[in-house]
Amino acid sequence: MKLFSNIYKKVIRYSKHRHAERYLGVLSFAESSFFPIPPDVMLIPMSLATPSKWVRLALLTTIASVLGGIAGYFIGVLLSDWVQTVIASWGYTEKFSQVKLLFSQWGIWAVLAAGFSPIPYKLFTITAGLLSMAFLPFVLASALGRGLRFFLVAGLVAKVGPKMEPLIIKYIEWLGWLVVGLLAIIILITQV
């Protein structure tokens, strides 16, 4: 059964869809303020499917992500009681505490580093608003951190991806099951 090779082919095909860039922008905006899925799930296959557009895709993702981050900031400013209830109901209380600790120790540098952090970016944007971080430095740090991440990801995929694609296709089933296995192990470890 070729489960992952079929998924791979569909993802690449959808990455070339005429509205794919719009979807990437919407996902990038939403992820920075309220949605749990990172834009990398679209940015990577789109950069692989059309390597010549990697700069455009990275720029779109960065701009939409920063705009979403601004929305997240104002969610934190305007809806602090509701936000803390949602954070708890989504199971992000511990991660939210980590983000608050990072803010107290590092300030604006925490936002810059958030572009590469495994902690969901929306927690940083909302926390910046909750803690009334200075707005302009927040926006500049968001643009720099997110931009570095998305340009790095898209650039690497565009440059190395096409060369690696034959190897990826050859071992896609093994790689897919390896990822599933690693996710299962991570889930088991975090539940213990």
Per-residue tens of pLDDT for the chain, all 192 residues: 577 777 777 777 778 888 989 999 999 999 998 887 888 888 988 998 899 999 999 999 999 999 999 999 999 999 888 888 888 888 888 888 887 888 878 888 888 888 777 778 888 898 899 888 899 999 999 999 999 999 999 999 999 887 877 777 777 778 778 877 877 887 777 766
Residue 112 CB contacts under 8 Å (≥ 6 apart), including other chains = 141, 144, 145
Q: Examine residue 48 and state whether it is found in any structural domain, yes or no.
A: yes
Positive or negative, the Cα torsion across 126, 96, 87, 184?
A: positive
Taking each helix axis from N to C terminus, what angle separates 54-78 and 135-170, rounded to the nearest 10 degrees? 140
Q: Examine residue 56 and state whether it is found in any structural domain, yes or no.
A: yes
Q: Are 28 and 39 in contact (CB under 8 A)?
A: yes
Q: Examine residue 122 and state whether it is found in any structural domain, yes or no.
A: yes
Which domain does 94 fall in, by range?
3-162
In the chain, the N- to C-terminal Cα span, in Å, equals: 33
pLDDT for 170: 78
Q: Examine residue 182 and state whether it is found in any structural domain, yes or no.
A: no
Q: Examine residue 183 and state whether it is found in any structural domain, yes or no.
A: no
Q: Examine residue 174 and state whether it is found in any structural domain, yes or no.
A: no
Question: pTM for this one?
Answer: 0.77
pLDDT for 55: 97
